[in-house]
Structure 1
Amino acid sequence: MTTSYTDYSRNMMMDGDIRMPGKDKLLQATEDRTDSGLDSLREEDYNNMLKDMQNLSIPMEQNIQDYEPEAWKMQANEDGDTLLHLAIIHEDKELAVEVIKRSYRDAFYLNRQNNLHQTPLHLAIITDQPEIAATLFEAGCDPEVRDYRGNTALHIACEKGSLHGVGVVVQNCKTRLSPLLQYTNYNGHTCLHLASSNGFLAIVEDLIRLGADINAQEPCNGRTALHMAVDKQNEALMFLLLKYGADVNRVTYQGYSACQLTWGRSNLQIQQHLLALTETSLQYLPESEDEDSSESESEADDEYMYDDVCISLCPRMV
Structure 2
Amino acid sequence: MVPRKERAALDDRHDSGLDSMKEEDYDQLVRDLRDIRLQLPAAQPAPAPAWRHQLTDDGDSFLHLAVIHEELALSLEAIRQARAEPAFLDLQNHLSQTPLHLAVITDQPEIAEALLKAGCDPEIRDFRGNMPLHIACEQGSLRSVGVLTQYCQAHHLHAILQAANYNGHTCLHLASIQGYLAIVECLLSLGADVNAQEPCNGRTALHLAVDLQNSELVSLLVKHGADVNKVTYQGYSPYQLTWGRDSSIIQEQLKQLTIADLQMLPESEDEESSESESEFTEDELMYDDCVIGGRQLAL
Could you tell me whether the CA contact under 8 Å between 1:134 and 1:172 is conserved in 2? yes
Pairing partner for 2:94 from 95, 105, 115: 115
In structure 2, the CA distance between the partners of 1:305 and 1:219, relative to structure 1 (3 Å rule), is closer
Pairing partner for 1:171 from 150, 157, 160: 150
In structure 2, the CA distance between the partners of 1:235 and 1:81, relative to structure 1 (3 Å rule), is same
Aligned match of 2:162: 182
Could you tell me whether the CA contact under 8 Å between 2:229 and 2:238 is conserved in 1? yes
Aligned match of 2:235: 255
In structure 2, the CA distance between the partners of 1:228 and 1:305, relative to structure 1 (3 Å rule), is same
Pairing partner for 2:119 from 115, 122, 140: 140
Q: How far, CA to CA, are the matches of 2:166 and 2:47 in structure 1? A: 34
TM-score (ref. length: structure 2): 0.75
Q: How far, CA to CA, are the matches of 1:275 and 1:84 in structure 2? A: 53
Could you tell me whether the CA contact under 8 Å between 2:235 and 2:266 is conserved in 1? no
Q: CA shift at 1:70, angstroms?
A: 3.4
Percent of aligned pairs with the same residue? 60
Could you tell me whether the CA contact under 8 Å between 1:259 and 1:278 is conserved in 2? yes
Pairing partner for 2:54 from 59, 75, 80: 75
1:243-302 per-position Cα deviation (integer Å, ceiling 9, x unaligned): 11100000111111111111111112111221111111111212211xx343788xx89x
Q: Which structure 2 residue ranges, 5 or more long, are not aligned?
A: 1-41, 285-299
Question: How do 1:149-164 residues align onto structure 2 when only pairs under 5 Å count?
Answer: 149-164=128-143
1:36-73 per-position Cα deviation (integer Å, ceiling 9, x unaligned): xxxxxxxxxxxxxxxxxxxxxxxxxxx9x979643221
1:223 pairs with 2:207: no
Q: Secondary structure at the match of 1:108?
A: helix
Pairing partner for 2:193 from 213, 227, 245: 213
Q: CA shift at 1:183, angstroms?
A: 1.1
Cα RMSD for the two superposed structures: 2.4
1:193 pairs with 2:144: no
Q: How far, CA to CA, are the matches of 1:283 and 1:259 in structure 2? A: 6
In structure 2, the CA distance between the partners of 1:165 and 1:187, relative to structure 1 (3 Å rule), is same
In structure 2, the CA distance between the partners of 1:151 and 1:68, relative to structure 1 (3 Å rule), is farther
Letter in 1 for 2:161: L
Q: How far, CA to CA, are the matches of 1:67 and 1:195 in structure 2? A: 45
In structure 2, the CA distance between the partners of 1:149 and 1:305, relative to structure 1 (3 Å rule), is closer
In structure 2, the CA distance between the partners of 1:254 and 1:71, relative to structure 1 (3 Å rule), is same
Letter in 1 for 2:272: S
TM-score (ref. length: structure 1): 0.71
Aligned match of 2:71: 92
